[in-house]
Amino acid sequence: MSLDQDLPLLSVKNLSHFYGQHLGCKNVNFDLYPGEVLAIVGESGSGKTTLLNCLSTQIIPTDGAVFYRNRKGQSDNLYEMSEAQQRILLRTDWGFVRQHPRDGLRMNVSAGANVGERLMALGDRHYGKIRDTALDWLEKVEIQADRIDDAPRTFSGGMQQRLQIARNLVTNPRLVFMDEPTGGLDVSVQARLLDLIRRLVSELGLSIIIVTHDLAVARLLSDRIMVMKDGKVIEQGLTDQVLDDPHQAYTQLLVSSILHVGS
């Protein structure tokens, strides 16, 4: 067990993706360890979403490999897996929290069904138990129990996002991808959501790769940070170190712009 903790959960080797001749991301290398939160930051067009989509096998990259260590301790290249294996990972071992809740939720079925779907996909066939688990998770993400039969479209943006998190975490995934999960939310709602994510990460020991353009989000949540510009990783390291002492001019610019807003 302790040995496993020392080995990376995800190992990214020379990952590049081109859209035709247009560069998506180039030569990305990093390891993600169990329980670690990695933030990928950069402005739009920097390649961070392309990278996230490659890592989560939604896009098969032009070049490179990503090794994922499964629960048995075996490390396999994601892109050599069958689509079936990839899809099983996506709905069991992994989670994917999208920026827009409508992309990550079934808007036309109840909150309870949204949370229960993964359980049913894995073969749970006891309505009462599925419902209890859903209630449990709604409580964890601070959604009132009496909203369980309501459709997500009747929820506020913040609630929808919390529901999306519950829907993803119900199968106890080991790795969760998040794409700008706080984008489009009011500042106060953002803060509550970030708090929740932070609490769940520490309680559940989740590994997270989060894409954000918001350095404040990165600082609050992540252990490590990767700065991307024009498809390339230009700087990476411990979050506090990078943000307090950025080496690259571009990172300095990003950091200073945040500080100005903050002060």
Task: State the residues that interact with other proteins by CB under 8 A.
Answer: 18-22, 83-84, 87-88, 91, 106, 109-110, 112-113, 116-118, 120-122, 125-128, 130-131, 148-149
Closest CA to 230 of 2, 27, 11, 14: 27
Judge whether 119 and 132 are in contact, CB under 8 Å. no
Q: 88 vs 196, which CB is nearer to other proteins?
A: 88
Distance of closest approach, residue 153 Cβ to other proteins, in angstroms:
14
The tokens for 190 are 């953002």
Beta strands in 102-185 (DSSP E): 175-179
Distance of closest approach, residue 42 Cβ to other proteins, in angstroms:
21
d(CA 100, CA 208): 18
Judge whether 97 and 208 are in contact, CB under 8 Å. no
d(CA 210, CA 65): 20
Distance of closest approach, residue 148 Cβ to other proteins, in angstroms:
8
Q: 71 vs 125, which CB is nearer to other proteins?
A: 125
Q: 6 vs 146, which CB is nearer to other proteins?
A: 146
Q: 102 vs 126, which CB is nearer to other proteins?
A: 126
Distance of closest approach, residue 18 Cβ to other proteins, in angstroms:
7
Distance of closest approach, residue 156 Cβ to other proteins, in angstroms:
20
Residue given tokens 């989000």 in the structure block: 217
The tokens for 181 are 């999960």
207's enclosing H/E stretch is strand 207-212
Q: 164 vs 190, which CB is nearer to other proteins?
A: 164
Distance of closest approach, residue 157 Cβ to other proteins, in angstroms:
23
Q: 125 vs 260, which CB is nearer to other proteins?
A: 125
Closest CA to 46 of 262, 253, 259: 253
